[in-house]
Amino acid sequence: MSIELRIENLSKTYKNGVKALDNVSLTIPAGMYGLLGPNGAGKSTLMRTLATLQEPDSGTATLGDIDVLAQKDEVRKRLGYLPQEFGVYPRISVQDMLSHIALLKGITKAKERKDLVAWMLKRCNLYDDRKRALSGFSGGMRQRFGIAQALIGNPQLLIVDEPTAGLDPGERNRFYNLLSEIGEEIIVILSTHIVEDVMDLCTNMAIINKGQVLYQGHPQDAIAQLNGRIWQISIAKTELAEYEQRYQVVSNKLVGGRPFLHVYSASPLSNGFAPSAPDLEDVFFTKIRSWN
């Protein structure tokens, strides 16, 4: 039986009155789990709570039989965490940096530490750059370093918060490949506002918005729920306001300079609409629209 993370009724209101988590309950099995939500949804608040860096107002979380909120040291031994921002980019080499982190994580034997660091550098494709400082790295290299430091100590729970934001497509692909090589035995929570991250990598997912869970399950089941309900149409810019008023517009993109709409409707639409095969982006926008 592999390990499971259970989150029950977590709530958090910040001092300024923002309710960042509103009764969040999720069951997260081993494998790659996508936590998808727009900016401000509460993702980082949840990730920091699970990483034992802040307290919720109420609720519980358990990792296997460990109480995440009470047994912080036990969680930290099993945790790898790549925060959304890690502010300092030190001037020491990435090799020395990883060695230092390994020491902090209790790997005290020099030879063992050296081998581990070398293996991790190779695994994250940073070996050729091992003598360079993080301060000179590109965004993609920094994120790969972020994974390398998070994987030291063999975590059972790996939390990566918005790891692909700001990466170019090539860097994003390299990062996906690295993540997908991490075993299915550990829990990996990938928090993101980018639908493709979840589509390409995750077998299970949740959608959150305004601190609330709007969906949890398999991406393909969420897509199947929209079968026959998404309609597409290309319109003139001058028609946009009218369409947004009359229809449940899921998304609106410019294609060839014209608005190209996806519209939600349970019953068939005529008047120039064509059926559209739903995808995860339709799911995401349908769930977070105010008309829903």
* Site residues (vs Mg ion, CB under 5 A): 43-44, 84
- Contacts of residue 287, Cβ cutoff 8 Å, sequence gap at least 6: 207, 209, 214, 215
Residue 156 or 191: which CB sits closer to ligand ADP? 191
Q: Rule CB under 6 A: is residue 209 a binding residue for ligand ADP?
A: no
Task: Decide which of ligand ADP, Mg ion, none touches 94; Cβ closer than 5 to 8 Å per partner kind.
Answer: none
49 binds, among Mg ion, ligand ADP, none (CB under 5 to 8 A by kind): none
Per CB under 6 A, contacts with ligand ADP among 44-63 are 44-45
Could you say which residues in the range 13-42 bind ligand ADP, by CB under 6 A? Answer: 14, 16, 18, 20, 37, 39-42
Nearer to Mg ion, 84 or 216 (CB): 84
Q: Which residue shows structure tokens 């802040």?
A: 54
Nearer to Mg ion, 163 or 219 (CB): 163
Count of CA atoms in the C-beta half-sphere (13 A) of 128: 2
Structure token digits, residue 63: 């990792």
Query: Smallest distance from the beta carbon of 59 to ligand ADP, in angstroms?
Result: 15
**Per rule CB under 6 A, count of chain residues that contact ligand ADP:** 12
**CA nearest neighbour of 56 among 67, 65, 156:** 67
CA 265 to chain centre: 29
Q: Which is nearer to ligand ADP, 186 or 208 (CB)?
A: 208
> Directed axis angle between helix 110-123 and helix 94-104, to 10°?
120
42 interface partner picked from ligand ADP, Mg ion, none, CB below 5 to 8 A per type? ligand ADP
Among residues 71 and 84, whose Cβ is nearest to ligand ADP?
A: 84
Q: Which residues of 256-278 are buried (b: 16+ CB within 10 A; e: fewer)?
A: eeebebbbbeeeeeeeebeebeb
Q: Is 86 in the site for ligand ADP (CB under 6 A)?
A: no
- Between CA 137 and CA 187 the distance in angstroms is 28
Residue 194: CB partners within 8 Å, gap ≥ 6? 164, 165
For residue 55, the minimal CB distance to ligand ADP (Å) is 12
- The pattern of x and - marking residues 250 through 269 that bind ligand ADP according to CB under 6 A reads --------------------
DSSP string, 97-124: HHHHHHHHTT---HHHHHHHHHHHHHHT
The one-letter amino acid code at 73 reads D
CB of 213 to Mg ion, least distance (A): 16
Closer to ligand ADP by CB, 130 or 193: give it: 193
The whole-angstrom separation of Cα 176 and Cα 163 is 10
Residues of the shown chain interacting with ligand ADP in the complex, contacts defined by CB under 6 A: 14, 16, 18, 20, 37, 39-45
